[in-house]
Amino acid sequence: MRVLVLGAGFGGLELTSTLSEVLGDDVEVTLIDRGEGFVFGFSKLDVMFGRTVAERVVHPYRDIVKPGVTFVQTTIRSIDPTARRVETDAGPFEGDVMVVALGADLHPDATPGLVEGGNEFYTVAGAFALRDTLANFGGGRVVVAVTSTPFKCPPAPSETALLVHDFLSARGLRENSEISLVMPLPVPIPPSPAASAALLEAFRERSISWHPNQLVRELDPARKTAVFTDGTEMPYDLFLGVPAHRVPTVVAESGMCVDGWIPVNPHTLETSFPDVYAVGDVTSVGTPKAGVFAEGQALVVAAALIAKVRNETPTVTYDGTGICYLEFGHGQIAKVEVTFLSGQAPAGALQGPSIDFAGDKSAFGTSRIQRWFGRKWSLA
């Protein structure tokens, strides 16, 4: 069986690793991505706040050496889901099965004034560039804000506001600075009331101003002012924004999307096209756009493909469960487990925050680099 995997994020890496591990050379997997390497979302914050350097957190795709798997670094120019075929700068590729795991593209230019008058911290380039911007910041009014929905990793803006507090405090700049967090949600993490309550208490303790149910629609660089969707304004000296998320253009042009994203069967991740699956941020499956959910969805698709090769009936369905590690600053980390089941209200639980969960977070990252890239790695 030939499996064509588009995208080497959490979903694509976990899918190819599982297929190789179980089927080896009995499956022919082609993994395509335009990037040179993989970067964890939390690693972007580590670089941004000067806790590590970029070279330590980029995991080159050239390190992928697995039975049955071929990685191709190239740009996909068109997708034909009916023929399960793509055209790329490296030529055409096709498969008996195609899995779309291309994630969401980020568009800072979609928010007027963001490129000219602010900073975004969601792309790798944006987060890495902020290392120098923050190092040279002398204090003042800091605004962390979301510019559109949906957006990846909903806890990340809260983490960023808390880490800005630590960063400024360590440099003796906090007393002369203000930190505001602007989000479109009523609470920081709606599926987990306990996590939201803990974050709101952390904001209160650190004098971080919380602005729920708001989006920033534009920046006025000349006046250094953020304008909310309701017309109210907030001045800033440093703006850290979550840019607009959109399905990749090549996916939008493929005919697979409905209302901007790929609809899938929430239990099997099948699209409306035979033998075509989609996982992760590119879908409208109903879970948050976060890597851990893409990973769980990939395991379901892998189980289905393994059963197909073995002429068995698939028995694994997606349970909508994911765990994320949430930084509270001061070395404190919480573990948040949430479940999103189709037709049911999401539910979430909180453990911590505690210094003890730093080891859990480290194990999460190092285990996946070992599994996906076959090498050891340390978060430190």
Q: Which residue, 304, 273, 274, 270, is CA-closest to 285?
A: 270
**Distance of alpha carbon 269 from the chain centroid:** 18
**Residues 6 or more apart from 134 whose CB is under 8 A from it?**
48, 49, 50, 167, 238
pLDDT band of residue 44 (cuts 50, 70, 90) is very high
Alpha-carbon distance 196 to 192, whole Å? 6
| The pLDDT value given to residue 274 | 97
Alpha-carbon distance 259 to 283, whole Å? 11
Per CATH, the homologous superfamily of domain 106-245 is FAD/NAD(P)-binding domain (3.50.50.60)
* Confidence check: pLDDT of 113 > 90: yes
Q: Which residue, 89, 91, 156, 90, is CA-closest to 120?
A: 156
Same fold, 2-104+247-309 and 106-245: yes
pLDDT band of residue 287 (cuts 50, 70, 90) is confident
Catalogue the E-assigned strands of 128-232. Answer: 141-146, 178-182, 208-211, 216-220, 225-228
| The pLDDT value given to residue 380 | 64
Helix (H) or strand (E) holding 24: none
| The pLDDT value given to residue 307 | 96
How many Cβ atoms sit within 10 Å of the Cβ of residue 378?
10
| The pLDDT value given to residue 312 | 93
What are the tens digits of pLDDT across the range 94-104? 999 999 999 99
**Distance of alpha carbon 272 from the chain centroid:** 25
How is the chain split into domains, by residue range? 2-104+247-309, 106-245
| The pLDDT value given to residue 7 | 98
What are the tens digits of pLDDT across the range 188-204? 998 889 999 999 999 99
What are the tens digits of pLDDT across the range 325-367? 999 988 899 998 888 766 667 777 888 899 989 889 999 999 9
Q: Rounded mean pLDDT of 65-83?
A: 97
| The pLDDT value given to residue 134 | 96
What are the tens digits of pLDDT across the range 296-312? 999 999 999 999 999 99
For 262, the 3-state DSSP assignment is strand
| The pLDDT value given to residue 323 | 87
Mean pLDDT lowest among 71-75, 244-248, 351-355: 351-355
Alpha-carbon distance 328 to 198, whole Å? 9
Average pLDDT in the chain: 94
What are the tens digits of pLDDT across the range 146-199? 999 999 988 999 999 999 999 999 999 999 999 999 999 999 998 889 999 999
| Topology given in CATH for the domain delimited by 2-104+247-309 | FAD/NAD(P)-binding domain (3.50.50)
